[in-house]
């Protein structure tokens, strides 16, 4: 049985100003230290303008979590107004970056091809992509969720140059369960996460794929997270709403440490 360290990642989305973000990071650091949580990799992904402030808390307080961004562009620099290069994220202390979130695919028209380029650029800069995938309600009702997500993984991960499983994280987030209060069942999550793992084996081989963390995301909260984590191919959670308070998020992390 592969020994994958569980991961709980918080996606703050477009919430928390700079000062609110610094406060939340400090509160989370305090809560995790007080609970002496260990054995779980924790990542927080604040808005871009909060990154430097949260990095300061991590540095000065030795906060027990890593820093992630919510998006990146694949070019190194240049005339791409409003975009952020991977090297800029590294420079402020990011070691993870969410890509391919369904909100970016849906509202900003991101394609699998874009996501593949972003992953390649991040990996080249030693930033771990948290690469999101997931089906719509329509696709699930048609019973095509596995086929759909497997095709996303094949397109998003094609040609990625990784030599170990800790260079990539996948987040399975059924779109119909994000921010809606509707959760997939642990069995729904395992069905798709198991298929994701098999696809990763086809792409990267067993040794690497067995070490890649596959997270579940979609209305995960302290009361339901353990049900997902107990499934064989679910190695953690990507958390939106419930990551916005130090209390709720640290409770989820403590559950993952159980
Ligand atoms: C997300 O958007 O990544 C997410 C999982 O959101 P929520 O937990 O709020 O459903």
Q: Whose CA is nearest to atom 3 of ligand 1?
A: 240
pLDDT tier, 154 (very low <50, low <70, confident <90, very high otherwise): very high
Q: Whose CA is nearest to atom 1 of ligand 1?
A: 240
Token pair 């990539």 is at which residue?
168
| Nearest ligand 1 atom to alpha carbon 178 | 10
Q: Answer yes or no: is the C-beta of 239 below 6 A from any ligand 1 atom.
A: yes
Q: Name residues whose C-beta falls within 8 Å of residue 36's C-beta, 6 or more positions apart in sequence.
A: none
Alpha helices in 125-229 (DSSP H): 137-141, 145-157, 186-204, 206-209, 225-229
Structure confidence at residue 53 (pLDDT): 98
Residue 1 lies in a domain: no
Q: What is the pLDDT of residues 11-21, one digit of tens each?
A: 999 999 999 99
Alpha carbon of 189 to ligand 1 centroid (Å): 14
Is 173 part of the annotated catalytic residue set?
yes
Closest C-alpha among 84, 88, 24 to residue 58: 24
Q: Answer yes or no: is the C-beta of 102 below 6 A from any ligand 1 atom.
A: no
DSSP 42-101: EEEE--GGGHHHHHHHHHHHT-S-EEEES---SSSSSS-TT---HHHHHHTT--EEEES-
Give the domain range for residue 12.
Answer: 6-257
Q: What is the pLDDT of residues 86-109, one digit of tens each?
A: 999 999 999 999 999 999 999 999
Q: Residues 128-132: what's their mean pLDDT?
A: 98
% of the chain exceeding 90 in pLDDT: 95
Question: How many CA within 13 A on the CB side of residue 20?
Answer: 9
pLDDT tier, 214 (very low <50, low <70, confident <90, very high otherwise): very high
6 in helix, strand or coil? strand
The pTM of the full predicted model, rounded to 2 decimals, is 0.97
Q: Residues 43-62: what's their mean pLDDT?
A: 98
Alpha carbon of 54 to ligand 1 centroid (Å): 20
Q: How many residues does the chain have?
A: 258
Catalytic residue among 103, 110, 135, 173: 173
pLDDT tier, 258 (very low <50, low <70, confident <90, very high otherwise): confident
Residue 233 lies in a domain: yes
1 has pLDDT over 60? no
181 has pLDDT over 90? no
How many domains does the chain fold into?
A: 1
Q: Answer yes or no: is the C-beta of 240 below 6 A from any ligand 1 atom.
A: yes
Structure confidence at residue 182 (pLDDT): 79
pLDDT tier, 123 (very low <50, low <70, confident <90, very high otherwise): very high
| Nearest ligand 1 atom to alpha carbon 171 | 3
| Nearest ligand 1 atom to alpha carbon 242 | 8
Q: What is the pLDDT of residues 183-203, one digit of tens each?
A: 799 999 999 999 999 999 999
Residue 155 lies in a domain: yes
Bridge partners, 97 (sequence order): 69, 129
Residue 187 lies in a domain: yes
Domain containing residue 136: CATH number: 3.20.20.70
Is 101 part of the annotated catalytic residue set?
yes
């Amino acid at each position: 049985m592969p020994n994958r360290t569980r991961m709980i990642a918080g996606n703050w989305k477009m919430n928390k100003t700079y000062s609110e973000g610094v406060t939340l990071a400090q509160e989370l650091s305090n809560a995790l230290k007080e609970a002496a949580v260990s054995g779980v990799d924790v990542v927080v992904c604040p808005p871009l303008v909060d990154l430097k402030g949260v990095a300061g808390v991590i540095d000065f307080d030795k906060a027990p979590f890593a820093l992630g961004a919510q998006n990146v562009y694949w070019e190194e620099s240049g005339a791409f107004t409003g975009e952020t290069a991977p090297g800029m994220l590294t420079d402020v202390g990011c070691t993870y970056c969410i890509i391919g979130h369904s909100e970016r695919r849906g509202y900003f028209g991101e394609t699998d091809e874009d996501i593949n380029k972003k992953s390649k650029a991040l990996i080249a800069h030693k930033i771990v992509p948290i690469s999101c995938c997931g089906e719509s309600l329509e696709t699930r009702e048609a019973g095509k969720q596995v086929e759909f997500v497997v095709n996303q993984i094949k397109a998003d991960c094609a040609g990625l140059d990784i030599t170990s499983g800790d260079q990539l994280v996948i987040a399975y987030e059924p779109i119909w369960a994000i921010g809606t209060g509707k959760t997939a069942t642990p069995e729904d999550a395992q069905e798709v996460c198991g298929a994701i793992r098999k696809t990763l084996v086809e792409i990267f081989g067993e040794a690497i794929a067995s070490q890649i963390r596959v997270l579940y995301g979609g209305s995960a909260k302290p009361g339901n997270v353990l049900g997902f984590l107990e499934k064989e191919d679910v190695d953690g959670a990507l958390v939106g709403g419930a990551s916005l308070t130090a209390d709720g998020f640290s409770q989820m992390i403590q559950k993952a440490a159980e």
